[in-house]
Amino acid sequence: MSEPPYLTYSRYLKERHGCSVYRVAVDAGFTCPNRTAGRAGAGCSYCDANGSRAPYLSRNEPRFPVGCTGADGLPLDAGSLQRQVREAISFYRRTHGEGEYILYFQAYSNTNAPVEALRRVYDAGLAMAAFRGLNVATRPDCLDEEKADLLASYGERGLEVWVELGLQSADDATLKRIGRGHTAADFERAFDILRSRQLKIAVHLIFGLPGEGLNEILRTIRVLARLRPDGVKIHNLHVPKGTVIASEYRKGELAVPTPRRHLEYVIAAIERLPPETVIMRLTCDTPLEKLAAPRDFWPKEKFHSTLETEMKARGSRQGRLFSSAIQ
Ligand code: SF4
């Protein structure tokens, strides 16, 4: 089978671990400081009530009735965590056969608790199966030296540790417009803290944010090309129902890129990213029933196959313009 002209996550995992590796996404009950009253409050303008929770958890597992910002830290619902791990692993066995697993704390901000509470939650999750790795998604303003040291300690135990850091855009005006509640400098500070501990870093980006076209996206990509993250996750702009951008969209205040336009953004970005950066995701997979727009975006498989065909036809490949991007 032919390989796409960029480094996919599945190829990276196979080469790194020598077998099929799957991510077990869990919701451990963390919250997000950007949704907490007293801060920006409403959260990012595109954030729905699930805070990037895995879609299958929305259907099968209720959110814990807990917060994680109290003096006692995060109350752990070990039963729920165990159910989520068990169900995910049995799902992968049924659909993909045997493999190895990475524990992925995905929903909301998974370092948003005191360090001892984080240790308790990560340890509890990791004890539930023989995991190869630990992935933790979070925000730049939820990281400090102590939390980074904790994450690095799991690497010393032999786990591959990745931290997924939300940036979306390196433009402060865009970050303000979408209510991210942090700046590009906050992101770089968190990035440096993680990098100094040799933790793997994946950066989340959204292409087609309000006020952003190709030039703005390439400015963000140049920042990343300089920082050389280990991975990127790219989303097309999606407009979940009931969000701030859904009401902007209804009023005609923003346009959502078509699949063709997103494809052009993605090719331009991949060509400028370092050849070794893992391209972990290229589109979002919000279920259609939750989306106000786009309603007619291509299925993921069609986007990937069109991208591969298009890149090969153009002689395009990851990193082709990397050296010019960092000048
Ligand atoms: S950081 Fe994530 S969970 Fe928090 S408001 Fe933004 S999208 Fe929602």
Q: Which atom of ligand 1 is nearest to the CA of 33?
A: 4
Phi and psi at residue 279, in whole multiples of 5°? Answer: -90, 100
Query: What are the extents of the domains in the chain?
Result: 9-317
- The response to whether residue 108 sits with its C-beta less than 6 Å from ligand 1 reads yes
CB contact at 8 A, 137 and 52: yes
The CA 295 to ligand 1 mean position distance, Å, reads 22
- The response to whether residue 32 sits with its C-beta less than 6 Å from ligand 1 reads yes
| Class of domain 9-317 (CATH, top level) | alpha beta
Write down the pTM of the prediction: 0.93
- The response to whether residue 47 sits with its C-beta less than 6 Å from ligand 1 reads yes
- The response to whether residue 240 sits with its C-beta less than 6 Å from ligand 1 reads no
- The response to whether residue 137 sits with its C-beta less than 6 Å from ligand 1 reads no
Ligand 1 atom 6 nearest Cα: 44
What rounded mean pLDDT belongs to the chain?
91
- The response to whether residue 166 sits with its C-beta less than 6 Å from ligand 1 reads yes
The CA 134 to ligand 1 mean position distance, Å, reads 20
Ligand 1 atom 5 nearest Cα: 43
**How is the beta sheet containing 21-26 ordered, strand by strand?**
21-26, 100-105, 133-138, 160-168, 200-207, 231-236, 278-281
209 vs 99, 128, 175, 182, CA distance in Å?
37, 39, 9, 16
Tens of pLDDT, residue by residue over 121-132, are 999 999 999 999
Phi and psi at residue 142, in whole multiples of 5°? Answer: -110, 25
CB-side neighbour CA atoms (13 Å) of 28:
32
Tens of pLDDT, residue by residue over 259-306, are 999 999 999 999 999 999 999 999 998 899 999 999 999 999 999 999
The CA 211 to ligand 1 mean position distance, Å, reads 20
Ligand 1 atom 7 nearest Cα: 47
Query: Under the phi-then-psi rule, with left for phi > 0, alpha for psi from -120 to 50, and beta for the rest, what region is 179?
Result: left
Q: How far apart are CA 32 and CA 27, in angstroms?
A: 12
- The response to whether residue 35 sits with its C-beta less than 6 Å from ligand 1 reads yes
Ligand 1 pocket test: which of 30, 31, 32 has the largest number of ligand atoms within 8 Å of its C-beta?
A: 32
The CA 31 to ligand 1 mean position distance, Å, reads 9
Ligand 1 atom 4 nearest Cα: 32
Which among 124, 156, 126, 117 has a CA at the least distance from the CA of 24?
126
Helix axes 78-96, 115-126, angle to 10 degrees: 40
Confidence of residue 183 (pLDDT cuts 50, 70, 90): very high
Instruction: Name the least confident of 46-50, 103-107, 156-160, 204-208.
Output: 46-50
Tens of pLDDT, residue by residue over 190-244, are 999 999 999 999 999 999 999 999 999 999 999 999 999 999 999 999 999 999 9
